Structure 1
Amino acid sequence: MSQSLLVISRQAPWSGPSAREALDIVLAGGAFDLPIGLLFLDDGVFQLAPHQDAKAVQQKDLGANLQALGLFGIEDVFACSHSLAERGLTVPSIAESLGNEEISRLIDRYDQVITL
């Protein structure tokens, strides 16, 4: 039986490779039908902001990777409600908003947790 994995993405899409690496791990896990979830926390919620101009900061656009989550069977996508509110963002349609207590329970549900 496969161990479940939760990837916590805490970096903004333009702050380095961590945001892309988190999405790559999740998509690879989905391709192999692993039980996997993705949580956007802290500045990681900026990855969910619409209409980003990745070229302006000489980065690759992560929007296509986010759109591909469903195609890879990744249904467990979450965003921290506190992080969204602090940054003036609304809950995106691809993610479920969770409070701090819900996030604690979510982390406990998974066998392995990776934070990037």
Structure 2
Amino acid sequence: MNGPRQSILVISRHAHQGSSLARAALDTALSCAAFEQPVALLFQGEGVLQLLPEQDCSALRVRNLRKVIDSLPLYDIDCIYVDAEAATEFALSADQLPACARLLDGPALQRLLTQHDHVLAF
């Protein structure tokens, strides 16, 4: 018999350039979803830069993660959250975000952290 499903919040705090942590966060979320665990993603700090549309990453020899992010609902990852303060800091407007993304302010971010059984930060 399977135990209760544990909700997981994956936090991505790094841009996709210069580090593999952004990709690791997405891979972790996808792996959790593959095992039918309820998973949500939160983009904070430089992690919000992954959400910029139409990025040309070929010169950096890294994959454009926005395409992966846009496909997350296909894997039943419907909860994508964005730190509103970080989005403002990096001049990311609401119309640039994926359709399923929700901007959260400080108090809402605190509530989000307490709503999950496990929090994984990258």
- Secondary structure (helix, strand or coil) at the match of 1:97 reads strand
Q: Structure 2: which 5+ runs fail to align? A: none
Contact 2:79 2:100 survives alignment (8 Å): no
CA distance in 1, matches of 2:54, 2:48: 14
Q: 1:55 maps to which residue? A: 58
> Greater shift after overlay, 58-67 or 29-38?
58-67
Query: What is the percent sequence identity of the aligned residues?
Result: 34
Q: 1:115 maps to which residue? A: 121
What is the TM-score when the length of structure 1 is the normalising length?
0.95
- State the superposition RMSD in angstroms: 1.0
Q: 2:104 maps to which residue? A: 98
Number of equivalences: 116
The match for 2:68 among 60, 65, 68 is 65
Larger Rg: 2
What is the TM-score when the length of structure 2 is the normalising length?
0.91
Q: 2:35 maps to which residue? A: 32
Q: Structure 1: which 5+ runs fail to align? A: none
The match for 2:23 among 15, 20, 26 is 20
Please give the per-residue CA displacement for 1:36-93, whole angstroms capped at 9, x wherever unaligned: 1100000000000011111121112212311220100001110000000011011212
CA distance in 2, matches of 1:60, 1:27: 16
